[in-house]
């Protein structure tokens, strides 16, 4: 058994795949199949590709025609709806249009008027979801799976890897990580948590021998104006970024659950986020606004 | 107060339940967490053609041409089906057992054999259960069998226990002699363990026992008279060692058999699996085999005592054999792969340490196989 290590680009970033396999012939085969599965997720759910189910739905926003979705999409929409309820409306897949106000490439604050205009087209209450038919009731509305697409791709790739016979491996898609078993010799994988303020160092590290770690932070995309940071995690009710936490990392069996829980904890802020994660029984590592760390 | 706390706790438990329920309703997420062994993710179908030719003393003997179709697929979420169909065309005479008597080598054989087998395996959390059947039919021989097998693995899946039981019923007639209408039944047991030893190796050992009753003689060989029962025990050990720096695997197999006819055999096989240039796999292989004769084997004709067991069938003699083969496989696009194997067998008395049966002629055979596999 040899540890094979592959890097590839997809889902808007860098991805890493490691697994133990008995020869390079099979390893190449497995790697190709996993990358294909990731590309399938991207093609199916990407906002940028016109053939995706997301684009098909967005194109019909404000029209009477509802789009019929398949079982996989339906289950993901149900999941997003549940996250919306559990987060008291803060996790909202219709909030993607706020990128028109916040693009983080210029250190300029958007106008409040633009934000108000965009907020008028945000809200799960403006969605018509009668399984399997989905419709955005207002023109100008959009749904976006970007908030959990990568985490879902990790779970899907894990499922495929296991079915292909991998018993020891590690998947990391843009920082969303999932372990398949331990290292071959039984030792767990060591996962570093990125430091939210110093990109060349780590905040801490954890060892896992199965399950997922996903992180959400204010350092992925942001602008800083007058010493104040405005990050890409936006409150869909106010249209403004959250400012309470530097980063949240969550552990769960599923990367999808870990990632969405981390995002919701960021959206809730320090006190409510802590309670939210505690109620779910999920372990986490959190760094608040002033850099103080919490582990449970 | 207590009532409120309980209600709150139940509410909190509901939150987690709701979260996980919604996540587990997504097929790929649920499947990735269940982590169970299961049927293959991808179905495979294989078309293969094998060609075997043996010869002794510069005369062509048995020739077998076998096209085969094989399928392996998931037929339900936790159910696998594996099956194959083979159509053999057999022609030629069986191996000479003597040089000195002509005309006693048996009539030529020209036969077609159809065989099929199927196995359905159901996968559970910690074990799998399989039921299968096999049947084959040719002009003078029909065989049917049923088998049940189970595999049980530890949570880490580093250790797997395999058990199997099967029963076969064979019906034997003879195209030479209409009076021969015989049968035999065999009961087989298998117990084995497969163990991953460390990051580079694994070992597997199987014990098999087979008890047969009925007709074992060869109706085409003069005065061939074998016991009405045959008990056979075997142990087969396979060891795989991977060399990461050189990127190849070494497979070492050893099998020992002993049966109630007094025949013992030892078999050593060494194979190297070496990937080349991403899409190629080559596999050179060497097998060394020795066998001690059955108690009633007698190379000469006529039998010393007509009331005792007798067979001059060279396959029951003492000899040693060497088989060399080379296989090459190439991955093609769209899930196809093609492979070719060529091998040569040589059996001689003097290949056995201490010598083998006298007067048996060296036996040679060559075989090749060409196959095409498609994975969906």
Minimum Cα–Cα distance from A281: chain B residue? B16
A100-109, A144-153, B96-105, B264-273, range with the lowest pLDDT: B96-105
Nearest-CB residue to B25 (from A75, A86, A280)? A75
- Using 50, 70 and 90 to split pLDDT, how confident is the model at A70? very high
pLDDT of residue A185: 79
Distance separating alpha carbons of residues A288 and B10, to the nearest angstrom? 30
A contact test, residue of B17, B26, B247 with most A CBs within 10 A: B26
Give how far Cα B148 sits from Cα of B145, B162, B294, Å: 10, 11, 31
pLDDT digits (tens, 9 = 90+) for B143-169: 999 999 999 988 767 789 999 999 999
pLDDT digits (tens, 9 = 90+) for B190-221: 999 998 787 678 899 999 999 999 999 887 77
pLDDT of residue B99: 33
- Using 50, 70 and 90 to split pLDDT, how confident is the model at B5? very low
Average pLDDT along chain B: 85
A59-63, A132-136, B96-100, B368-372, range with the lowest pLDDT: B96-100
pLDDT at B270 over 80: yes
Give the rounded percent of residues in chain B with a pLDDT score beyond 70.
87
Give the HSE-up count for residue B342: Cα atoms under 13 Å, Cβ half-sphere. Answer: 1
pLDDT of residue B109: 64
Give how far Cα A160 sits from Cα of A88, A100, A153, A280, B334, Å: 34, 36, 10, 27, 18
Helix (H, G, I), strand (E, B) or coil at B76: strand
Residues in Cβ contact with B136 at an 8 Å cutoff, skipping those fewer than 6 apart: B86, B113, B114, B115, B116, B142, B143
pLDDT digits (tens, 9 = 90+) for B107-135: 456 678 899 999 999 998 889 999 999 99
Q: Which residue has the tokens 């010799």?
A: A185
The average pLDDT across B35-61 equals 78
pLDDT digits (tens, 9 = 90+) for A148-199: 999 999 999 999 999 888 989 999 998 999 999 888 877 888 888 888 888 7
Distance separating alpha carbons of residues A228 and B197, to the nearest angstrom? 56
* Closest residue by Cα to residue A229 from A221, B83, A53, B242: A221
The average pLDDT across A69-85 equals 93
pLDDT of residue B104: 41
Give the rounded percent of residues in chain B with a pLDDT score beyond 90.
48
B contact test, residue of A3, A25, A272 with most B CBs within 10 A: A25
Look at A254 and B12 and tell me if their CB atoms are within 8 Å: no
pLDDT of residue B239: 93
Q: pTM for the complete prediction? A: 0.60
Nearest-CB residue to B35 (from A82, A162, A256)? A162
Nearest-CB residue to B23 (from A2, A29, A254)? A254
pLDDT of residue B34: 65
The chain A residues in contact with chain B (CB within 8 A) are 1-2, 20, 22-25, 28-29, 71-72, 75-76, 78-79, 82-83, 85-86, 152, 155-156, 158-160, 162-164, 167, 178, 181, 184-185, 253-254, 256-257, 261, 279-281
pLDDT of residue A140: 93
Name the burial class of residue A45, with classes exposed (0-12), middle (13-18) and buried (19+) by CB atoms within 10 angstroms of its CB.
buried
* Closest residue by Cα to residue A189 from A175, A174, A171, A176: A171
pLDDT at B14 over 70: no
- Using 50, 70 and 90 to split pLDDT, how confident is the model at B290? very high
Query: Ramachandran region of residue A81, left (φ > 0), alpha (ψ -120 to 50) or beta?
Result: alpha
The average pLDDT across B69-97 equals 83
pLDDT digits (tens, 9 = 90+) for A17-26: 999 988 888 8
* Closest residue by Cα to residue A293 from A202, A232, A211: A202
pLDDT of residue B49: 97
Give how far Cα A24 sits from Cα of A8, A21, A161, B34, Å: 17, 8, 15, 27
Q: Which residues of A touch B40 (CB under 8 A)?
A: 163
Give the distance from residue A75's alpha carbon to the nearest chain B alpha carbon, in angstroms: 5
pLDDT of residue B224: 83
Look at A79 and B22 and tell me if their CB atoms are within 8 Å: yes
The three-point CA angle A2-B248-B197 to 5° equals 55
Q: Is B20 on the interface with A (CB under 8 A)?
A: yes
pLDDT of residue B4: 46
Looking at the DSSP bridge assignments, the partners of residue A231 are A222
Looking at the DSSP bridge assignments, the partners of residue B38 are none
What ipTM is given for this predicted complex?
A: 0.83
pLDDT digits (tens, 9 = 90+) for A26-57: 899 899 999 999 999 999 999 888 899 999 99
pLDDT of residue B1: 40
pLDDT of residue A67: 94
Name the burial class of residue B351, with classes exposed (0-12), middle (13-18) and buried (19+) by CB atoms within 10 angstroms of its CB.
middle
Minimum Cα–Cα distance from B332: chain A residue? A29
Give the distance from residue B153's alpha carbon to the nearest chain A alpha carbon, in angstroms: 13
Contact B145, B168 (CB under 8 A): yes
pLDDT at A288 over 50: yes
Cis previous bond, B228, omega within 30: no
């Amino acid at each position: 058994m040899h540890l094979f290590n592959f890097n590839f680009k997809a889902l808007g970033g860098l991805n890493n795949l490691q697994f133990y396999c008995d020869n390079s012939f099979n390893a190449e085969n497995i790697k190709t199949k996993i990358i294909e599965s990731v590309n399938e997720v991207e093609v199916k759910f990407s906002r940028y590709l016109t053939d995706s189910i997301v684009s098909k739905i967005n194109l019909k926003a404000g029209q009477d025609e509802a789009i019929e979705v398949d079982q996989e999409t339906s289950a993901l929409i149900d999941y997003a709806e549940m996250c919306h309820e559990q987060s008291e409306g803060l996790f909202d897949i219709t909030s993607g249009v706020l990128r028109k106000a916040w693009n983080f490439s210029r250190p300029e604050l958007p106008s409040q008027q633009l934000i108000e205009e965009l907020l008028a087209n945000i809200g799960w209450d403006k969605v018509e979801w009668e399984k399997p038919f989905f419709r955005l009731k207002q023109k100008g509305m959009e749904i976006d799976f970007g908030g959990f697409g990568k985490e879902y791709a990790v779970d899907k790739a894990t499922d495929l890897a296991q079915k292909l016979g991998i018993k020891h491996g590690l998947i990391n898609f843009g920082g969303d990580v999932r372990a398949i078993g331990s290292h071959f010799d039984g030792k767990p994988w060591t996962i570093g948590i990125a430091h939210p303020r110093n990109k060349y160092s780590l905040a801490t590290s954890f060892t896992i021998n199965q399950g997922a770690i996903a992180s959400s932070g204010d350092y992925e995309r942001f602008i800083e104006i007058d010493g104040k940071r405005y990050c890409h995690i936006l409150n869909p009710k106010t249209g403004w970024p959250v400012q309470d936490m530097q980063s949240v990392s969550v552990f769960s069996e599923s990367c999808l659950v870990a990632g969405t829980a981390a995002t919701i904890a960021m959206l809730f802020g320090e006190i409510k986020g802590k309670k939210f994660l505690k109620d779910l029984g999920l372990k986490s590592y959190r760094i608040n606004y002033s850099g103080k760390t919490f582990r449970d | 107060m207590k009532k409120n706390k309980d209600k709150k706790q139940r509410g909190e438990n509901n939150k987690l339940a709701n979260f996980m329920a919604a996540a587990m309703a997504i097929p790929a997420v649920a499947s990735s967490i269940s982590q169970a062994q299961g049927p293959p993710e991808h179905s495979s179908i294989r078309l293969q053609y094998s060609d075997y030719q043996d010869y002794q003393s510069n005369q062509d003997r048995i020739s077998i041409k076998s096209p085969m179709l094989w399928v392996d697929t998931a037929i339900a979420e936790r159910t696998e089906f594996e099956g194959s169909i083979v159509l053999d065309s057999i022609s030629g005479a069986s191996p000479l057992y003597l040089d000195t008597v002509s005309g006693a080598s048996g009539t030529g054989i020209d036969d077609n054999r159809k065989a099929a087998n199927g196995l359905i395996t159901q996968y559970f959390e910690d074990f799998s259960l399989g039921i299968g059947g096999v049947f084959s039919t040719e002009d003078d021989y029909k065989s049917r069998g049923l088998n049940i097998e189970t595999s049980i693995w530890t949570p880490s899946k580093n250790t797997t226990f395999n058990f199997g039981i099967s029963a076969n019923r064979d019906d034997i007639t003879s195209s030479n002699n209409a009076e021969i209408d015989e049968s035999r039944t065999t009961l087989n047991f298998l117990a084995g363990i497969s163990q991953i030893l460390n990051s580079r190796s694994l070992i597997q050992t199987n014990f098999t026992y087979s008890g047969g009753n009925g007709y074992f003689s060869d109706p085409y060989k003069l005065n061939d008279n074998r016991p009405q029962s045959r008990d056979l025990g075997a142990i087969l050990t396979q060891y795989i060692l991977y060399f990461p720096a050189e990127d190849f695997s070494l497979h070492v197999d050893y099998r020992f058999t002993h049966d109630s006819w007094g025949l013992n055999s030892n078999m050593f096989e060494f194979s190297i699996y070496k990937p080349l240039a991403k899409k190629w796999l080559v596999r050179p292989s060497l097998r060394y085999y020795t066998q001690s004769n059955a108690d009633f084997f007698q190379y000469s004709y006529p039998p010393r005592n007509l009331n005792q067991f007798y067979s001059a069938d060279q396959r029951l003699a003492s000899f040693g054999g060497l088989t060399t083969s080379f296989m090459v496989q190439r991955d093609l696009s769209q899930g196809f792969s093609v492979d070719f194997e060529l091998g040569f067998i040589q059996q001689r008395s003097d290949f056995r340490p201490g010598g083998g049966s006298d007067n048996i002629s060296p036996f040679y055979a060559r075989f090749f196989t060409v196959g095409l596999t498609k994975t969906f």
